[in-house]
Amino acid sequence: MAQGVFARASSFDAVIRISTNAGDVLDDVIALPRGLALKVMDVPDDRLPGSEDETSQDFIMVNGPVSPLPLAVRFSRT
């Protein structure tokens, strides 16, 4: 599992985005999908085809029981 940003002990600049479906500030008792996106900057090493010029690595997390995009290919850029 030690690949990409996890390949070796390092520190990176990162940006976090917290989101909710409604766009309003709602109490946590209201059941809506909530997400967190993490963009890690200046990550070295190889890239997937089509993203060789990119330098960041993105992580997308959602608290729902099922992904709205169940196929990983839907996240890729073509």
Instruction: From residue 43, give the alpha-carbon distance in Å to each of 31, 48, 50.
Output: 35, 13, 16
Exposed, middle or buried: residue 37 (CB in 10 Å: 0-12, 13-18, 19+)? middle
Q: Which two tokens stand for residue 19?
A: 């989101």
Q: How much is the average pLDDT of 47-68? A: 81
Number of neighbours of residue 61 by Cβ within 10 angstroms? 9
CA–CA gap between residue 48 and residue 54 (Å, rounded): 10
15-55 confidence digits (pLDDT tens): 999 887 766 777 778 777 778 999 999 988 777 788 888 88
DSSP strand pairing (14-20 vs 57-62): unpaired
